[in-house]
Every structure is written in structure tokens, then in C-alpha cells.
Structure 1
Amino acid sequence: MKTLISKKWLALITVIIALTAVLAGCKREQFQLETTSDVNILGYLQKDPGSYSMFISILEKAGSAGTLNGYGTYTLFVPTNDAVKLYLKDINKSSVTDISEADAKDIVKIHLIRDTITSDQFNDGKLRTPTMYGQSLLTGAQNIGGLTTLTINRQATVLKADIRTGNGIIHVIDHVLKPAKLTGAQMIEQNPSYSIFTQALKATTLYDTLNVLPANAPDSLHMFYTVMAESDAVFKAAGINSFADLKAKYSNTGNPASIQDSLHLYMDYHILPGLKYLPDIFKASSHTTLSPLDVITTKLVGSDILINDDDFDGKHEPGSAVDRANSDNTTANGVLHAMAQDYFIKVRFPVPVYWEVTDQPEFQKLNGIYRVTNKSSAKFADGDIQDIRWQTGSVQYMCAPEARQFYVYHNDYLYIAALRTAATANSWIELKTPLLVKGRYKVWICFIRRGGGKGVSVLFDGTLLPRVLNLTESLPSQVLVGSNWTYPSGSTPASLEALGKKITFGGGKVPFYNNPAQTIDYYKDNYGLLAGTITVTKTDRHIIRLQATADASGDVDIDMIHFIPETMDQQYPKFNPDGTVIQKP
């Protein structure tokens, strides 16, 4: 059976801004840029007491008027007098004088950012700088009558934007913003739609973890949490109608409070350390969870954010969708997201990954070049390829010419112009791997011998592997036996493997040097070198780096990288230029 990880795994789309989908077909409200001659924000507000006098009173009560009357760089979201009146009615107060000084300070802090942020930076998600209150503001869009308006924290609409003053920018809004006061645990508990999830949090004691305010957290690593919560309706769709059903399905010890219990781990798997709003979720391919050895993988497909939508062991595993409309809820100690579908920890065992490094989305989009004989791409610069980074030189996609076969899988390879030591630093190239299941693997670098890479170290997630590879060395020359080119005397697959080498080419009827009368099962100038054995501690995508340690002229050509569980056969399968995979006879 084919054991390749599908190339679709690498086609993660992490650069799509979700607002594009929201605004498609809609006209965005246009704001007139206004630059005032006033030297400060307070002066601008004081010029229009009919619109802002009540918020000025809140500033004065909070002792913040002087701050906005002096030097600085601020962004202030200013609620109008009508907005303040709505707020007073909501809290059963008759005037601003009835607001306490502490509450006035909180109001000002949640509306004020020590940064200058214009409306063109209001992409769907959190603003780049948190408020003086310490919480981030969320911006979004809503379509009303074909006109898309900007929203802040889902609480207010922007009426007027980008008013530039001497010490900052003003955005006028139609409601007073309210800081989050509830912890994540409290927000979940107060929503009856999460009754099963709430019971599970309490049974596992994770409710207590999510009920600590940042000021009371033991350290900075435990201040904020992001929760991917599942509603009763989502559980019901998964055949779980009560907490008793959930416990029966997942609790293997009968004691969910035990950190070893499977239900505890299930709930851990729904909690991510730190503050992660939806753009943070889909812009990274994976996220750690409170389950010690497990991550969730994430990808954006169109406008859908999917959890654990993976290609594994040659098969596609459909992901679970996030309920975007009900997510991005700021809590006093984190963020609460809603799942549209259930997800759980998948029990997986190490499987070999035979990774063709040219399976990059940027290469696959090269129409008329990708896997077309004797074609090559233009040079890529560092930053052009999503999952490959490098220092010095350039990278190209290349497909071998018909008259000069290199006997590499799909006849293509990654061309690295220079992997050598420089005067100031060693050059390197880093690649993000496909999904690797936790376990121990032997790592094989499969390449075409050329003139570069005389000494190359391999690092996995920053850990140096034991062998330094010489990518300029040929194997002993092949010999002709009948019409087949094969291993020279004294060399066998087993003897080569003992030296940390293997032939990755499958042989058979593929002609040698374009001679259809001859075939080959061994070739001296493309093979695999064993870099060492790694321990993958988390099922995730990882980083592998090739680092030059010795100078040598010429390029380096990489075909595949094999991650094979250490107890499995390291020789098979083999891979032919025509895309066929040769299994062990």
C-alpha cells in the first residue's frame, strides 16, 4: 500500500484574511479622513460638547483628561453622548456623576490604546496592541443593507474614523465598550448551551484552572487560556446526550479528576495556553494544548477554520469546523471559541513518512513547469515559500531533462544554489515537515550528488543529529550484468545500510542514460544518507534544518526526506521517476 503523506497536507492557506470573505460583494463604508489642527485629543473633543461632553466628564472623573491633553501617541475610541446615555440606562444610572471613579477608570482604559491604529488596520480579529485595560479589542464587519460597517468588540459600530490629532487618532463609536469581567470558566457556566462542557470542566477540576484572574495567576505562563468549547448540540450530534454519556465514552479510570484519565485529557485537548483569537488560530498550522503530548492542527479552507483536518498515512481525515459566528469571545483571562463539530485526541502509532520535498503549494502552482520534463522555476527568495526558509543563495524547483535522468521520485527535486560555509556564518535551509506521529524515527536525506554540501549537519527542532553528511560523495560505480546496471561486487543493500546509505530508486524498466535496452536498480550518484535517529515527542509538524559545516563549491539537490520508525524496514518502498512506488518483493 502507498504510504506517502499526501501533498494536500502542505497546502495550508495561512495568509487569507477572513474579512475578504465577509466583504465579498459588499461595499465597505467609506470614512472621510479628517486632520484637525488641534494639538491633542482632548482639545478636539472639547470643540464639540454636543457630541462628546459626557465622555469628557468620564475622562475627568477618571483623571485621564490631562493624559489626553499632553504629548503621546494614542488611539481613542470615543462613544458619543447618545452612546453614553444608552450605557447609563443599561446600568441603571441617571448621570455620569453616579459612576464610581474606579468604573470611570475602567471605561477609559478599555477605550484607550497606547498606539496609533487607523481603520485600514481593522482586519477581522484583534488589534495589534491591547488596550490600557489589558484586553484586546476585536474588529469585524457586518453587512446591513449591502453596506459593510466596521464593528468593535461586537458591541459598537464605528460612526467616524481616522480623526488625526496632534497626539493620536480618534474613532467615534455608537456604544460604550465594556471590558470582559467573567473568567473563561464563568462565561462557559453562565451559558446553558454548555451545560455538559461545564460539568466536564468541574469533574476534571479544569474549571478551577479557567477561573483564575490574571492578577492572581501564579506566573505569566498561566495567566491566559483559550478554550475550544463544545455545546450540548455539538455533543448530541456526536451521540453524547449528557455528561454521563461523555464520561462513559472517555473516562477510562472512572475518576475524571485524575490527570491520567482519558476524559481529563479530552478536556485538556480543548484548552490552549495563551490568548489566541481566530486569526491566531488559523495562521499557525498547529497549537499546543494542556494535553501534554498532543497538539491540534489547524487550517483555513475558504472561510472555514478546521481542526485536525489532516492527511495521514495516505488518507484524508476530515476536520472539525469552528463556529466562527460564536467565537472570539474575550474573557477576563483568555478567549472562548465555539466548535461546530466535536473533535478528540486520535490514537495514532508511528508510521513512515516518505516526504517528497517538492510537494510545496508554491511549486504545484507552476503551470507548465511542475513535473514537466526539463523545466525549472525562476529563483525563489527567502520568504517566497511558505514552509521553507533559508540563509544565503536561492532556491529553485527543477525537473530533470529527459536525456539526463537523475532517478529521483517524479523526476523533480529542490535545487539549492549554495549550501556552504560563508565568511560570516554557515548557510542553512529549514523545511517544515508533514505530520509526524510521536515516536522514534530514522531520518534519511535523499539527494542527487553534485558539487556542493561537502559537510552538512542535520538538526531536528533544533537538536543536532549525530552524523555530518557528505553530499559530494559518490557510491561505488554500478556494473552491467546482462542488460541491467546493478550493485558492484561486495556491495549489497544490507552492506550499504550498515554504512548509513541506501538506494531510493526502484529500478526495473526505467532506461539508464536513455538507453531503452538497459535497465538499472543501482546508481552511484543519487541515494539516501542516514542522518540519525530522532524522538518525536508531539504529533505535529516539525522543523528540519540542513546546515553547512564545510565549504564546497556547487549546488545541492534534495529529492526526498524519509522518516521511518526505527523498528521498520528502512529499504522499502522505493520510488521511480514516473511516480510509481516499488514495494518490497
Structure 2
Amino acid sequence: MKRYLAQKRLMKIALVYFITLAFLNCTPDKLKETTDDTVNITQYLKDHENYSLFLEALEITNYASFMNTYGTYTLFLPTNEAMKQYIKDAGVASLKEIPLKDLQDFVKLHILDQKVISTSFTDGKIATPSMYGQYLVTLAANSNGTSKYTVNKTSNIIASNLVVGNGVIHVIDKVLRVANKTLAQTIEADANLSLFTEALKATGWYEKLNQPLTIDQNNIASFLTVLTQTNDEFKAVGINSLTDLKAKYSHLKDPMNPNDSLNLFVSYRVLPKLQYLADLAVSATLETKAPMEVISVKLDKENLLLNEEIFNGVLEKGVSVNRTKSDVTTSNGVLHFVNANFFIKKRLPAPVYFDLADQPEFRSNTAIFRKHAGGSIVLTHDQISGITWEGTESIKYLDGKAGTSTGGGWHGDLLELNRFKTGLTQNLVLKTPVIIKGKYKVWIDYRPQSSKMPTLKVYFNGLELPKLVNCNEYTSTSATDNATERVLESQGYKHPVHPYDGNLNSRLVGVIDVPTTGRHTIKFESITASPGNVTWLDVVEFRPIDMDQIWPKLEKGGDRFVSSNLTYY
């Protein structure tokens, strides 16, 4: 009997076991006992014999362990063939014979402390520097109908985006080289830059560009950027020797003098900070080592143009940057090449009449822009490049009809802002045309209304100007003889257009000191609500302080100027 009960108990246990087993096998979601079975970088190299030499470099430098830990790295991985060439070029028989510090720098140059896949590559620097501290530069190249990326202009990526547990690997066919020459040494090593090298030495800039990199107390590195030009670019303007260069530019006959034109010729090509093409492309102006002198930058499709501006209505052609040759990394900066000779443009302060409605995006609408038919163009934040503002409202280009109040401004158009101050439009910031450095009086030309209009603060380059613009305020509509005009001017007002139009007013908002020649910013801030009306702005006039502030006037509805003897030009 006991034996029977024992067998029955065993049968029950077996039945429960098989039911449980069957249940587990039928469960669709099985638990994964490990979090990730993807190998990390070091293990990946161990698993692939073709990368054994770079693995050896990691082991010698003691970097193999941290490259096998959790993280987000990018490795530009040389093949064994590439590593063998590196050993041969170093004049040694094995990696162990390379000085440890040199090998450590070499390894760190190939590693980024960030995961960067190939879709992030552009024709320019990778945003994240290498662990050595130098940036890597990628460039898309076409070979035999196949597009591929090169790194630092020498190494081809032959396999990309190999995902590992702690990052991504890009395989390259040549090792990357640490840039250990200074800017001066890099320039001197190029035979095509021999005349530029002579200019550096004659002005004392060779020594400055030959200094090792330093870090100041604010953790700012002493990087510099140089815009150089080849002997051929000099020859194109008749400069074949240092003697020719001195004759053309050295007005003090002392190139070492910082005020000498040849010294300024060189210092104008030296920029503070580390600025690759990607950095230049997003800069409106570039500060230079020539005191108070800047270079304007314009991106025209794929061309990077320096000092190309429309000045007083005339296009002044700029100088293009050679993108293929540029982005040369050095130990203390980066080197670029320009395609033509250029020099500082010396000008005296000159008036600038900034028509706020003249924006490229408005101008491109040829069916409406300045047709004087009463049309309008409405643009949102992301549709216009030269203006920014806060709030949800769009801004409007208003093209007035001749003979109507809206057609009385210069060129017959206005910039219209809806409900300034109420959250729909506020803090309007515009980029000015090029203004030559100097002192100017700033006048705001606008169309007032009698009620529900804002009062505006005006800022130049972030500096608040002392006078306000009350958009409810009209200038006296009485006699407009010269005596009356001068009285108004003394009070900070004037009639901006001719023939006289009582619907246009001009307010002096202050005197500015423009520190550098280039494009600047002007900002309008409403400090009172305008709940029901729109605000119309016409022109910002920048007139040198020693210039007549009334004449010339702007032609009403036209594009000309009117002198004090009522001559149109």
C-alpha cells in the first residue's frame, strides 16, 4: 500500500513538472539573461586579425582597457597595412620602438569621445574633437563614379558605421597624422607659399605664428587662424617678390611697425581663435588681428566669399576661399587658402539708408515687390533670414499705391508689424547693411497714427539709444521752409521725404560709435501696447555726425535722393 501511494505521489510531481515545462515553452516572450551580447571596441579588434596592430598600440599605451568599457566612442581604425606603413615611416621595426608619448598621441588622434556616424559627416571639421584635442576634417570625394569620404584629406574610409557595444568604428586605409608643425612651419613648408612666408618674416608675424599652443587662466587656448595666398595669387596682381610687396604696401618703409601697411596686410589675414570653414560659414564678420578691422563673410551656395558686399547700391565683388585646400590643421591653429589678393578697404564714414522693407525674401517676390499696386507679402520666422523677432505673429511687406498714405515712404513701401508688444510681435532685430566705422546720428523714419500705437526703444548692437520713438507722434504739418526744418532738427525731428508728406515722420534716437566696418544689428523693443493697430517702419538713417542731417531727403515713393536745391539724383 505504501509503495502504491509513493508511486502515485511521484506521478503527480512528474505531471506538475511537465505541465510547467510545457507552459514555459509556450510563453512567447522569453527572458534574455544578458543585457547585450555586442562586443566593445577592444574585443572587436581581438576578434578581427586585420586590426591586430592597432590593438597592439592600444595595449602598449594601456588604452585597451578603457576602450573595452562602457561609453560612446568613435574609432577611426587603420588596417594592418596602414599600420605597417606607419611603422615604416617612423623608421622602426615595431610599435614598441616608438616613444610612448608619441604613440599615445597617435592613438588618441584616432578616437573621439562621442559616437559619430557617417551621416553626420560634412565637408569640414567633425564637431567633436579627437581625444588628442585636434579636430578631424572629412571631405566627400568622387573616385571612378563612387563617392567616398576622406579624413584629414589623406585617409579613405573603406568601411563605415560598424556598431559595437561602446560606439562605432570607421575603417581607414591610412593612419591619421598628428599635426605637429606650427602655422609658421606649415606655411614655410609649402613652396607655393614662399612669398607669403617672406612677408611673415619681414613683419615679425612668423615668430608669432610659430609660438607653441598655450592655455591662459580662463582656459582659453592661443589658437589662431590664417588666410594665406599662393605665389600665383600674388603674381596675378603684379607682385613677384618681397621687394614688390614692400613697394605696394609698406607706406612707412618699416614692415615691423604695426601701423605699416604691409604689417596690416598680414595682420588682416590672421584671425583669433580656431576657425575651420564650418565656423567661418556661420559668421557674418570675422575679427582680425588688424586693429578694429573685420572681414565680412557671405555663403553663396557652396562658395565662401570674403568682403563681398553691396555698398551704396553697388556690388563689390569679394574673394573666394579655396575649400579644397583649406582646413589644414596645425599644432597651434588652422590654415585656409584664398583665391585672390585682397587688402583692408579704407573708407571714410558714409551715410547708410537702411530700408527695412528691402529684404531678400521680399525682393524675390517680383510680382509684388515695389510694383506700387497695394500688394503685400507675409512671412513667418522660418521664411526670412535677416530679421528675427519674438512672438507668434508674421511680419508683412506693404507695397503702397502711389498717391495714398501707405505709398509715401522711400521706395513706396513699408515694413508692417501687427500689435507690437502684445505677445504677437516683440523685440524685432535686423541685420544692417555694411556701415563704415565712425560716429553717426541714427534717425528712425516711420508712418505714425493718432492712437493705439507703441512707443519704441531702439538698440544698436545691443546698446540702448537714449531717445524713444513715439509712433503716435506726428511732425508739425505747418510750413516746411528751411528755418522750420532746422528748428525741428534741433528738437530731434525732421521731415524725411520730399515732396513733403505729413504721414511720414523721423525721430533722432541717438549718436552711435560704429567700432568696425561691417554689418551690425538694430533692435526695436515696444514698451507700450498697441492692441488695435499695426506699426509701420520705413527707413533707418545712419548719417555721419559731420554731415547735414536734413539734406539730402529721400524721394517720396521713389528710389532717389533730393538735394537742398531740390535736385533729384
Offset at 1:310?
2.0
Q: 2:542 aligns with which of 555, 563, 577?
A: 563
Q: Give the C-alpha shift of residue 131 in structure 1.
A: 0.6
Name the residue aligned to 2:273: 274
Cα distance in 2, alignment partners of residues 56 and 347 from structure 1: 58
Alignment of 1:123-134 (within 5 A): 123-134=122-133
**Among 489, 505, 515, the residue aligned to 2:497:** 505
- What's the CA shift string for 1:238-282, capped at 9, x where partnerless? 211111221222122222212222211111101011111123223
- For 2:259, the equivalent position in structure 1 comes to 260
Instruction: Output the CA distance in 2 between the equivalents of 1:313 and 1:375.
Output: 27
- Partner Cα distance (1:110, 1:499) in 2: 65
C-alpha deviation, 1:417, in angstroms: 1.9
Partner of 2:524 in structure 1?
546
The one-letter code matched in structure 2 to 1:526 is L
Q: Report the CA distance between 1:219 and its aligned residue.
A: 6.8
Q: Classify the secondary structure of the residue corresponding to 2:467.
A: strand
Counterpart of 2:510, as a letter, is: G
Give the AA of the match of 1:468: L
Alpha-carbon distance in structure 1 between the residues aligned to 2:290 and 2:469: 37
Give the Cα separation in 2 of the matches to 1:434 and 1:447.
Answer: 19
CA RMSD of aligned residues (A): 2.3
TM-score of the two chains, using structure 1 as the length reference:
0.85
Does structure 1 residue 42 correspond to structure 2 residue 42?
Answer: yes
Name the counterpart of 1:11. none
Q: CA deviation at 1:153?
A: 0.6
Paired residues for 1:138-537 under 5 Å: 138-215=137-214, 223-372=222-371, 373-381=373-381, 383-392=382-391, 393-401=393-401, 404-406=404-406, 407-420=408-421, 427-450=426-449, 454-477=454-477, 487=480, 492-507=484-499, 521-523=500-502, 525-537=503-515
Tell me, in whole angstroms, the C-alpha distance in 1 between the residues paired with 2:216 and 2:484. 62
In structure 1, C-alpha distance between the alignment counterparts of 2:164 and 2:548, rounded to whole Å: 70
Alpha-carbon distance between aligned partners in 2 of 1:299 and 1:233, rounded to the nearest angstrom:
24
Paired residue for 1:576, among 533, 541, 556?
556
Return the letter of the residue paired with 1:408: G
For residues 164 and 550 of structure 1, do their structure 2 counterparts lie closer, same or farther at Cα, with a shift above 3 Å needed? same
Q: Report the CA distance between 1:455 and its aligned residue.
A: 2.2
In percent, how many aligned pairs have the same letter? 37
**Structure 1 residue 533, shift from structure 2 partner:** 0.9
Please give the secondary structure, in 2, of the residue aligned with 1:323: coil
Q: For 2:80 and 2:488, locate their aligned partners in 1 and report how far apart those are by CA, in whole Å.
A: 81
Change beyond 3 A, Cα 1:490–1:476: farther
Contact 1:405–1:411 under 8 Å retained in 2: no
CA displacement 1:32-71 (0-9 Å, x = unmatched)? xxxx95142222222212x211111111111111111111
Q: Is the 8 A contact 2:161 2:170 kept in 1?
A: yes
Secondary structure of residue in 1 paired with 2:530:
coil
The DSSP-based 3-state class of the residue aligned with 1:370 is coil
**Do 1:137 and 1:153's aligned partners in 2 also have CA atoms closer than 8 Å?**
yes
Asked if the contact 1:461–1:542 (Cα under 8 Å) also holds between the matched residues in 2, the reply is yes
Rg bigger for which structure? 2
SS of 1:341's partner is coil
**What SS does structure 1 have at the residue aligned with 2:527?**
strand
For 1:98 and 1:453, how far apart are their aligned partners in 2? Answer: 79
Q: 1:405 to 1:185 in 2, by over 3 A?
A: same
- Contact kept? 1:78, 1:111, Cα under 8 Å: yes
The unaligned stretches of length 5 or more in structure 2 are 1-35
Give the SS at the match of 2:128.
Answer: coil
1:387 is displaced (CA, Å) by 1.6
Partner of 1:518 in structure 2?
none
CA distance in 2, matches of 1:306, 1:262: 23
Alpha-carbon distance in structure 2 between the residues aligned to 1:433 and 1:337: 28
Aligned residues: 524
Secondary structure of the residue aligned to 2:149 is strand
Per-residue displacement from partner, 1:55-88 (whole Å, max 9, x unpaired)?
Answer: 1111111111111111111111111112112222
Contact 1:59/1:104 (CA < 8 Å) preserved in 2? no
Answer with 251-260 or 184-193: which moved more: 251-260
Change (3 A) 1:475 1:217: closer
Q: CA deviation at 1:502?
A: 1.7
User: How far has the Cα of 1:342 moved from its partner?
Assistant: 0.4
Q: C-alpha distance in 2, partners of 1:576/1:324?
A: 46
Distance 1:116 1:107, change over 3 A: same
Residue pair 1:37, 1:165 contacting (<8 A) in 2 also? no
For residue 150 of structure 1, give the secondary structure of its aligned residue in structure 2: strand
Conservation of the 8 A alpha-carbon contact between 1:418 and 1:452: no
Q: Separation in 2 of the partners of 1:37 and 1:125?
A: 35
* Structure 1 stretches lacking a partner, 5+ long: 1-35, 479-485, 508-520
Contact 1:38/1:44 (8 A) holds in 2: no
SS at 1:246's partner residue? Answer: helix
CA contact (8 A) 2:215 2:221 kept: no
C-alpha distance in 1 between matches for 2:252 and 2:310 = 31
State the one-letter code of the partner of 1:501: Y
Paired letter, 2:544? P
Q: Which letter does structure 1 place at the counterpart of 2:487?
A: S
For 1:145 and 1:268, the matched residues in 2 are separated by: 42
Once the two structures are TM-superposed, the CA of residue 394 in structure 1 deviates from its matched residue by: 3.1
The answer to whether the Cα contact below 8 Å between 2:162 and 2:168 also exists between their aligned partners in 1 is yes
Aligned partners of 2:334 and 2:310: how far apart in 1?
29
Q: Give the partner amino acid of 1:584.
A: S
Distance in 1 separating the partners of 2:95 and 2:395:
63
Whole-Å Cα distance in 2 between the matches of residues 98 and 490 of structure 1? 89
Q: Distance in 2 between matches of 1:217 and 1:551?
A: 48
Amino acid at match of 1:375: G
